[in-house]
Amino acid sequence: MYVHHMEIGGSQLNALELARETAARGHDVVVLAPPGGALWDVARRFGLDMVTLPTHLTWPSPRNMARAVSAVRRLRADVVHAYEWGPAIDVALGPHLLLGTPAVVTTLSMYVSGYIPRHVPLIVGTRRLAQEATARYRQVRLMEPPVDTIANTPSSVGGAAARDRWGFGPDDVVLSVVCRLSDDLDKTAGVLEAMTLIERAGRTSPLRLLVAGEGPRSADVAARAAAVNAALGRRAVVVAGPLDDPRPAYDAADVVLGMGSSVLRGMAFGKPVVVQGELGFWRRLEEETLPTFLDQGWYGSGGAGVPDLSAALEPLVHDVGLRLHLGAFGRRVVAERFSLTAAAQQLEQVYRSAALSGRRSAGSLGRTAALVARDTARGRLRERHSGG
């Protein structure tokens, strides 16, 4: 497996959990990852066999390709699994092209990048994305982001101790968000909107916000938190930074905010969740909204920003019974639909199929190489939607 970075984030944490589960099923699994990031501690705790890549967040990376080719050749790997579009480029133009090693790609983004070769088996995380990708990609599999419901439970790390860790009192209503602090999918914009909500709630509000994660916008988030706390005269916003084990951030929460697999982990902890998307989207998970999220993913686009977040939170802040009800509902959804064991079984089938029939396609690889070369020369290499 080749992951795109090791900072806190759903895609790479899912990759590590599936790597551990796949290894437990009797397979030899090696994870290739760039240096740095809190998830290296998670990988060590999982006992995973790791290979450190030389280059961080740069694609295409000839050095990473060379390291991947060397590792695949040395290990005599049957399949190389790339997570997200950057590693997909390096795997496609590295071990897949040069050694003929079958490739598999997973994208848990809300879009499929056009850089991903169209002949490789593609795993996506939402029904809608699977339907859209089928028109362009030869083999598309839907695998909703799995959650380890044994490790991620209300009893796994101790809620009271988690709240004490950051100084939260019994009367505080804690909103937790665990994410990579980047502009991708407006993640940081959502964190800043939550801070604005806290600021507007005033000095006497029970609301507090816990932000766990790191990324290119970490300094901006820390500065905004300091400004909000100064304005309110209290530590209303706690920026925890990167956590090698993010579970206490979920367990400390009364409500979890976020998107994708981060929301699913909050649900596994029995917490009510408010799903964030881009362009001001916020919506509470409840029985009526579940079908929408199962179709489009734990995400959305378009909304009023802070007013929508306020409306989604208002009944949760004042009604403990509703928090308990929606938390139990979310836990049931995760337990029934997002099992890590079932996902590992499905992934094993994908690997077996790829190993038997994962041939190279000159046309597909040539298209990827041409797109990458053109956009690199123009200084515009970035996530490209498959329609582009």
> In CATH, what number is assigned to the domain containing residue 111?
3.40.50.2000
Please state the φ and ψ torsions of residue 82, each to the nearest 5 degrees: -100, 135
Could you tell me the pLDDT band of residue 168, with boundaries at 50, 70 and 90?
very high
| Amino acid residing at 245 | D
- CB-based contact 342:146 (threshold 8 Å): yes
| Residue 147, CA atoms < 13 Å, CB-side half-sphere | 25
Residue 3 lies in a domain: no
What is the chain's mean pLDDT, rounded? 94
In angstroms, the first-to-last Cα distance of the chain is 27
- Say how many C-beta atoms besides its own lie within 10 A of residue 39's C-beta: 26
Asked whether residue 388 carries a pLDDT value surpassing 50, the answer given is no
Spell out where the chain has E strands. Answer: 30-33, 49-52, 80-83, 103-107, 122-124, 140-142, 173-178, 207-212, 237-241, 255-258, 273-276, 282-284
What is the reported pLDDT for 244? Answer: 84
Q: What is the mean pLDDT of residues 287-309?
A: 96
- Reported confidence tier of residue 45, pLDDT bands at 50, 70, 90: very high
319 in the same domain as 289:
yes
Does residue 2 form part of some domain? no
CA distance 23 to 221: 37
In this structure, is residue 306 part of a structural domain? yes
Same domain? For 163 and 305 the reply is yes
Tokens standing for residue 279? 């362009």
- For residue range 58-74, list pLDDT tens digits in order: 999 999 999 999 999 99
Is 18 in the same domain as 45?
A: yes
72 plus 168 within the same structural domain: no
* Residues 224, 178 share a domain: yes
Is 239 found in the same domain as 261?
yes
DSSP 310-344: HHHHHHHHH-HHHHHHHHHHHHHHHHHH-BHHHHH
Co-location of 311 and 371 in the same domain:
no
Residue that has been written with the tokens 């997570």 in this structure: 83
Q: How far apart are CA 103 and CA 79, in angstroms?
A: 6
Report d(CA 142, CA 6) in Å as an integer. Answer: 24
This prediction's pTM:
0.85
**pLDDT tens-place string over residues 3-20:** 999 998 889 999 999 999
| Confidence class for position 313, pLDDT limits 50, 70, 90 | very high
Q: Is residue 232 part of a domain?
A: yes
Number of H helices, E strands in the chain: 16, 12
Instruction: Please check whether residues 240 and 274 belong to one and the same domain.
Output: yes
277 within a domain of the structure (yes/no): yes
CB 377 within 8 A of CB 369: no
Helix (H, G, I), strand (E, B) or coil at 381: coil
Residue 60: cis peptide before it, omega within 30 degrees of 0: yes
Domain of residue 56, residue span:
10-146+339-377
At 260, list the tokens: 């994708």
Tens digits of residue pLDDT in 207-228:
999 999 999 999 999 999 999 9
The answer to whether residue 1 is domain-embedded is no
Q: How many domains does the chain have?
A: 2
In a domain, 99, yes or no: yes
Is residue 134 in a domain?
A: yes
